[in-house]
Amino acid sequence: MTPLLQLDSVNKAFGGLKVTQHLSFSVFPGEIAAIIGPNGAGKTTLFNQITGHLLPDSGRILFKGEDLVGLTTQAIVKKGLGRAFQVASIFPEETVLDNIRLAALANLDHTRRFWRPSAEHRQATEAAVAILASLGLEEQGGRLAFELSHGDQKLLDIGIALALQPTLLLLDEPTAGMSPEERQRTRRLIGEIRREYDLTLVFIEHDMDMVFDIAHTVRVLQQGALLAEGTPAEIQSNEEVVKAYLGEEL
Amino acid sequence: MGRSDMKSLCNGNMLGWGALILAFALVPVLMTSQYQLNVACNVLIWALFATSFNMLWGVTGMLSFGQALYYGVGGYAIGLTVTYLGSQWYFAAFAAGLLFTLVLSFLLGLLVIRVGGVYYTMLTLAFGQLAWQIMFKLYDFTGGDDGLQGITLPGLLANKVYYYYFVMILVLLAVWVLKRMAYSPFGLILRGVRQNPNRVRFLGRRVRRNQLRVYIVASLFATVAGALMAGVDGSVHTDMFFWTTSGEVILMSVLGGISHFFGPFCGAVVIILIEDIVGAHTEYWSLLIGSIIMVMVIGFPRGLVGGALDVAAKVRATLQGAKHDDTTLTAGLGK
């Protein structure tokens, strides 16, 4: 099977600090891939390189067989790569519905249209309403985004990414800062939306219960390098990983 | 501008527009002197200028201190053409002014949007002042500090009442178009650019391209305002390009409220009327106006329109006996 995302010896350094070191791995269509590692391991920096926010010093990042290195974020997003952020990246003064509708309008390439009110753009509105329903946010559609709870803002961030109809969705700590109930709900929703939207997921997470519950594969980063990769069971029994990162969590 | 704004505006849409048209249409009936008509024209033209400016600042978050440049282009397109070629070229001059602004705002826009925040503001100010200096120095052509007088208008527009209605129709039409834009997908992406430009990039949209588009749009409408002003008292002055003109339109927006589409429009109406009324009674009018504006800004930090909506919402909440959630209210009104 051809990998959907393939990293080929990616390197990145900030001065003398190596944040990504000879990183190579592949993610296949339909996979739920987790990236774990201690703070400062270079997980978010890796996402930033995949999405064109940072340029790797060397190496290739192939998406659907095409090298993303050197492309702008906009171009990468248009190729079908969506991202939700560690700190929810939303439009706080817009309604929840408008947040997702804007993404749907962007996906339809309708954001240059300047005459009809955005609410009257039926296709985008229907897509936004469907996503709200998938995320269980349909009751919140009319509220302003900043009024939402932290957990719902994180879901809204995912909803914005979903409206772009990505093939691959990158989730940066989707349950960070959530209550146990919110984590449980988010964990369930992530599984559901993957099936519903036929997505490949790569997510960064510190919640090991979630990682080992939903991930098909796990990559462990340490100081920008790949410490280990494998199935959740393999990672859980990897002594080096247990020693370096998991520790007492197991 | 949030959705609550949009809802309230849509609900009262027809009524609001009807009242606005009626109020301005009755001006020549109720105020018959030429001076009063000139004041009414000033109100309308500044309202358009402020509304177009707010597409940049209030909607997109781009505080330009150089929109006077395009206002001046409009004025001098009419002034120079009519002075040198005759009033029969009035409409051609209007179109030429818009075309010139289209090209100029595109070229300058490419430069100014490359920097953000205060640097963008300073760069727009620099270009505005450069234009003012050029117009000031080209005395033989532009009349320098004296400006150009005796600008005559063609046909029926030479009549003050007809010209007033011409201004009224064009201004209200332009404001209506801008309002359509503000609530369209284009307006939504502009608001997105202001609130979270990084997310806009992750929607696959170009932030700078949208900034350039709105810069051109706002500049074109500023040119319309300037062109209309040239016909009000038949003269244009280099002050049209000066930074204080840009400053005045910022003041109008702040006073009216930048979070609301009609905020700058209302701010313009209030400032022009205060200037006119107070100016008629004392030579210290600018001191008095400054004090009034200071009190208003302190009393209504979200602008007159925002303040009025806050008060209306509080009254409604009191009448309904509902517990008033101030945070929700503030948010619901867009800022």
Break chain B into its structural domains and give their ranges.
3-242
Render each residue's pLDDT in chain A as its tens digit; 250 residues: 789 999 999 999 998 899 999 999 999 999 999 999 988 889 999 999 999 999 999 999 999 999 999 999 999 999 999 999 999 999 999 999 999 999 999 999 999 999 999 999 999 999 999 999 999 999 999 999 999 999 999 999 999 999 999 999 999 999 988 888 888 999 999 989 999 999 999 999 988 888 998 999 999 999 899 999 999 999 988 888 888 777 654 4
**Across all residues in chain B, what is the average pLDDT?**
89
Long-range contacts of B291-297 (CB under 8 A, 24+ apart): B293/B251, B293/B255, B296/B255, B297/B254, B297/B255
Q: Quick one: pLDDT at residue B300?
A: 83
Q: Is the dihedral of CA B67, B181, B10, A137 positive or negative?
A: negative
Q: Which of A119, A185, A131 is nearest to A158 (CA)?
A: A131
Does A216 contact chain B (CB < 8 Å)?
no
Question: Measured between CA atoms, how close is A13 to chain B, in angstroms?
Answer: 23
| Residues from chain B contacting residue A75 (CB–CB below 8 Å) | 204
**Alpha carbons B293 and B271: distance in angstroms, whole number:** 8
Q: Assign B1 a pLDDT band (cuts: 50, 70, 90).
A: very low
Residue by residue, DSSP assigns B105-124 as: HHHHHHHHTTS-HHHHHHHH
Q: Which residues of B touch A146 (CB under 8 A)?
A: 331
Contacts of residue B86, Cβ cutoff 8 Å, sequence gap at least 6: none
Q: Does B335 contact chain A (CB < 8 Å)?
A: yes
Please report the pLDDT score of residue A16 as a whole number: 87
User: Which domains occur in chain A, in start order?
Assistant: 1-80+167-181+196-250 (3.40.50.300), 87-165 (no CATH)
Mutate to test the interface with A, among B199, B261, B328, B329 (most CBs of A within 10 A): B199
- Residues B183-236 have pLDDT tens digits of 999 999 999 999 999 999 999 999 999 999 999 999 999 999 999 999 998 999
275-334 in B: which are within 8 Å (CB) of A? 328, 331-332, 334
CA angle, B56 then B58 then B61, to 5°: 65
Question: ipTM of the predicted structure?
Answer: 0.91
